[in-house]
Amino acid sequence: MTFLSKGTLALSLSLLAASAAIGTVSAVDFDVLTSEEAVNPYDVWDDGGTKTLLVSFEDKAGHDSVVDHAKKKKEKGMKINEKSITFTKAQKIAKADKEGKAGKTGRRLRWLQEDDAIATGFSVIELESDDLQAEIDALSELQGVTAVEEDGIMHIESMEYQQKLRGGGGPADHIREIQDAIRAATYQFPDDEIEFSPNVEGEEAAGARHGRSLLQETPYGINMVNASHVWSKTPVMTEPIKICVVDTGYDLGHLDLPNEQEHNVTGWHKVNSDGSTPFGKWDVDGHGHGTHCAGTIGAIGTNTIGVTSVNPDPSKFQFIIGKGLSDSGSGSNANVMEAVTECVNAGAKVVSMSLGGTGSSTITDAFYKDQYDKGVLIIAAAGNSASDSWGYPAGYESVMSVGSVMESASLSYFSTRNVQVEITGPGHSVKSTHKNGGYTTMSGTSMACPHVAGVAALLWTHFPECTNNQIRNAMIRSADEPPTSDSRNTPGWDKYYGWGLVNAGNAYELLSKGCDVAGGLADPPEGKELHDLALGGKFQKNVGCTLDEHCDQSNPCLGEFVCNAGTGTCEQVAGTAPVCDDGKKCTIDTCDPSKPYTVLTDLCVFTPKPCEDGNKCNGIQDCDEETGNCYLKEPAVNCDDSNLCTTDTCNPSTGICSNTDVTCNDNNACTLNDTCDPFQGCIFGEPLDNCCGNAECEADETEATCPLDCGTTLTTSFENAYSVELGPIFDIQTKSKNVTIGGFDLNCYVPEGIASKVFVYSLPGGNYYEDGKWYKKNLWDKVLESPITCQGFGTPTQVALPEAVTVPKESKHSFFIFIYTDANATGYWFYKSHYPPSGKTARYSPLVEDSYLQIQTGSGSYCISGFCAMISPRMPAITINYAAIDDAPTTSPTMSSMPSTPLPTFTPTLRPTPAPTATPTSTPSSAPSESLAPTPFEPVKVTVTSPPTSSATIVYAYYFDVKGGTYDSVLTNIKITTYASSQEIKVFAKKGTGKESEGIPCDWQLVAETGNEVTGYWKTIYPKWINGFKPVELFAGETISLYVTSNQRLLTKYAGSSSLKYTTHFTSPDTSALPDIQVSYAAYGNVGLFKSYPSYYSSRSLMGALDFETVAPGSTMSPTAAPTATFSPNQLGSTELLTEDTHQGIQFDIHATSAIILRKLNLHLEAGTHLVEVWYRLGSHKGSTSGCANYNNYCNKWTNAASGDIISAGQDTATSTPAMAITVSPGQTIGLAVVFPKSGLVVGTTVTESGGDKTDGVLTIVTAGSQIKDYYGNEVNTIHSLDTTPITFKGVIEYDIANSFCAAISAENGVLSGDDYEPDVTSNDISNPNAPGEDGGGGPINGGGGGLMDFDSLS
């Protein structure tokens, strides 16, 4: 029976990726998807096929009736299967909720006989049915059945999982897509060290096992829970305690985990009647999550390798693994319960479950109560919702719910908070074991749960006489109070930290006084069961007491409690809790336990009842002292001026009205005299006959459709285009007439002084994406190769075809357009397009159309040679100039014979005007008088300020964008707010948004830096730049980005949601000499150059100012020459060969001892024109990684570095590949692949010098390469096994010694995995922050960095 399949079930999951694993992508790349398409990329429980029902029964007769029902259904042909679980004791099942459990019932179908119905067990029924409700109704009619419920989905509670489930579609996915596709020249490989590099697995991990001894590390969480205090004590338990981990499985054979032979590790997984294992096998963890949790509980601490754990001695415990979830990280609630049952039957005392779902179940609740009555302690992750929502099984009273803290012991931002949270553990950036013998760092309450489960097992080995409830109570009564600086923490219990942070040492000492002293009653009162002592979370201390101290709430607002020994319950002492009631109906009366007090009422807080909604347009509201109700004190603002020709609005912050004139324009060329009447509103004229001049309005056409007959141009949109690439790829569809395409208007920009060309390719028949047509260059016709001068983004640039392209009626046609510059500007993106609008996100979706033509959704070009299409669809910003004709012409019309969009009639203020085309025929009669001499241009200095506030957030670095306003300008300095006595500050800049370049050092250029200068706390200063501030040009309407970083601390404003990053924060006023300059909200980084935090962290904003200067009209604003620092040219050849052969391609390895940048390969080819592609990957092209062969690209590890046509004069002459820029860090090995569509590359088959590798001391060419026999798109090498016959690269590799800072720090890129606590400060923390002279001293420092910043020199 099929239990797992690709599904479309929408899950409400509470996880975010926080994996710091090298080689593990922490944000998944997806196309833009609609809500229907954005499904879980992993397997989830299928809601369209197999369903699962839980059916409880009150006795054996009830069970028999369920079995008989299933048997009859099967006889009638239904696919159905029944399996039962019987309780040890009868359990009550009820609808009743405890305080605070809102929404407990979830959304699943269910039927319950009555409150307090009895269940002695339940059946798990798996069936395939189109009418599940009918099945529930039928089962509810059976004698002895007490409840029927639809089963739910469980998923892991690690942060890594949620981002994968969320899928793509956001801006971050498109940034990642562009980075992956375009940035081959600046991609930096991660460090390839094995020791504790996160997510080390596969062959690298195997190498570590057999060839190297890794120094053991103690993850911070082990010390935080004080486990070492107990390690030195002698356990009392004679047999190893059995610990069950119900999760995604276990990496049996991992050298740092207990194994079967020495430590009796065992496990369970589901096996169907046909022998299939729908969730996989327990000893294989295809996900890694279960292995990570097991490592926290019991990674071996006596072997000097890897990591240690809460229980480092594997002789003191035994793992029982329950494969409750599939390798996808999800599964069914029923399978999880079956895994728990098998674990308990095998003797497990502690069950760790780092999983959860979003709906409760009365039957499942009864199941866990039954396990509790058996003496089992079940511990589960609270969830990662960052809210007070409920997750299960952690939400059940008989399950201990665990929240998460960071390394600072402050609450993890994602941790769920509700009344059931009982205790917290380390759950942020936890390092542990991983699949394939590796290690990784993960975050989530999933990581906190095994810390608490491990402590429970550790304590039980020393106090085996204690019950599960006593061990549980001992942990919460000995828990550490979290940091008092967190205002959310209150003494005793609170919904954020529960009773506090688990402390094994404290619990041990408390239990040493006796199980009853530490944990209360061993046996429940008469008539009660053990689970009746388990209320969980806030209420866990309310029952089971034996001493008054068991009832201590540590909260004066709750009063004093004493233990009623007769009932074992805690009761409040009358008069010990404050009564907070001032008798006023317009105050909110609360109690603050943190206040100092002499009498109890000193704890009371009386807050005026808020009636204002913050919107002054709604009037002024106040509270009625008599009733306590809010009432309207002043009426709402009425902005209606009774004029239908104005738009009447009210400013909510001021309550002031504004009345804006309505523009009456129906955008219909066939109607004239659009006017407005104050009493009628807009009035539009009647459509004219033959309104288009060259076409007739048909009888059935309306005013709206008639203009479509006028078509000679068809435009998508140039406005608000923000996806940038090298050009568009798209299809057109003709209608009832033949159409000739004469040219296009493009939305492009190329900086002045850079030569550029436009290429246009044509593909009859269209459907460019099907069968990989987009990369099969031989299928396309080149119809234009011509120099181009782009007019700038937003302004159409006309491209005329020398011979128009004829497209027959009712047919499709593809066009592929891209712009290419010389080698100095290959990193530019020249063409702007759009993400498609809603409903148009699929390729070939109609975007715009008229009576003759339709433009469809396409893609973008990202390779400088063209023929590399972006995966995500794009909407081209383009105008097509065409003519519609009844019959195909004998000669194609040219652009000049058809209308086109006129070029602008004005010259942009800051663009140079063209030189005159001829010498003037006459000269002035006399020199101009002095009064007519031009006035010298004086630049205006403009400061755009974001002033400091009374509170701020400490950061080490931040990125933000600046968009040019109405005029061109130059950024000359930046004012920064600091928070350290002295520090070094650097400022980097780049063209375009910083969103696409965080953590990519080679995208940026240093424009200013200081030495270790005195800065001060909370000082807003112009830093003392060593060489001044290198001015940065800012064209009107274009974007630059700044990266400000320090080796100490800076201050920013807290801005809120991460979605605000790189959106506009403030704008220079219209009255400024440089109006409409937009400064964005910022993303922030950690200490160290280009060390970034994850993208989901909240946004910040600049505290300081930016200085600009206006630029003289007509100035060129062209970039200056490249920096004087140069790379030394280097070449290394491998040409001394005894024999030669030709192949379709070669893969070979190179190794660098210093940081280098590969620039080109000089090859030997057959004569002619050849399409060549060069690819590279980290590590050798041989072997495999994570189950994927290194030589192919099935796991997307290869990156395209260069592609394009090259012309060879013959095999004896070296021919260069297109320019590339591959950075290789010191000590790195990379694999290279040179690919041709046909056999024509000369290689060596025998190597001189005894087969030795070629080296010049810096670069080494490994001579033993492999041939490429076939190639399809980006698969690089699709053969199933690597050719074992060695061949050798013949040619010369040109490279530069990378002496820029970017090569030195590239290997350090990525997200830091340390403590990410975000400390907020206020001006009250600083003595006199606004004292005179503390704003920098001396004013701005003039720039002197050697001219305008040159973006062209970035590599």
Residues labelled as active-site residues: 247, 289, 446
d(CA 1328, CA 1019): 11
Plot region of 351 (φ>0 → left; ψ -120 to 50 → alpha; else → beta)? beta
The residues, any chain, with a CB within 8 Å of residue 38's CB and separated by 6 or more, are 30, 166, 167, 168, 169
97: tokens are 């909720």
Q: How far, CA to CA in Å, does 114 sit from each of 69, 92, 93, 121, 146?
A: 22, 10, 8, 16, 8
d(CA 732, CA 714): 11
The answer to whether residues 110 and 150 touch, using CB atoms and an 8 Å cutoff, is yes
Q: How far, CA to CA in Å, does 1165 sit from each of 434, 1212, 1271, 1289?
A: 47, 8, 18, 12
Strand boundaries in 1154-1198, DSSP class E:
1156-1164, 1168-1178, 1184-1185, 1188-1189
Q: Please name the amino acid found at residue 824.
A: N
d(CA 1082, CA 944): 16
d(CA 1249, CA 684): 88
Sign of CA dihedral 688, 689, 693, 699: positive
6: tokens are 């690709």
Q: How far, CA to CA in Å, does 998 sit from each of 626, 828, 1004?
A: 58, 17, 10
What one-character DSSP code corresponds to residue 500? Answer: -
d(CA 209, CA 679): 86
d(CA 740, CA 884): 7
Q: Please name the amino acid found at residue 371.
A: Q
> Closest Cα to residue 1107, out of 1294, 895, 1274, 943?
943
Helix, strand, or coil (residue 852): coil
Sign of CA dihedral 537, 542, 545, 547: positive
The DSSP secondary structure of 625-665, one letter per residue, reads TTT--EEEEEPPP----S-TTEEEEE-TTT--EEEEEPP--
The answer to whether residues 1282 and 1266 touch, using CB atoms and an 8 Å cutoff, is yes
578: tokens are 């404050």
Place of tokens 């790349």: 29
The answer to whether residues 437 and 206 touch, using CB atoms and an 8 Å cutoff, is yes
Plot region of 589 (φ>0 → left; ψ -120 to 50 → alpha; else → beta)? beta
The answer to whether residues 520 and 513 touch, using CB atoms and an 8 Å cutoff, is no
1191: tokens are 């030589």
Q: Please name the amino acid found at residue 436.
A: N
Place of tokens 């999982």: 161
Q: State the alpha helices, DSSP H only, in 50-131.
A: 60-75
Place of tokens 């004012």: 975
Quote the distance between the C-alpha of residue 388 and its chain's center. 23
The residues, any chain, with a CB within 8 Å of residue 223's CB and separated by 6 or more, are none
82 has which bridge partners? 125
Report strand pairing: 951-963 vs 1083-1085: antiparallel
d(CA 27, CA 46): 25
Q: Angle 132-140/60-75 helices, nearest 10 degrees?
A: 140
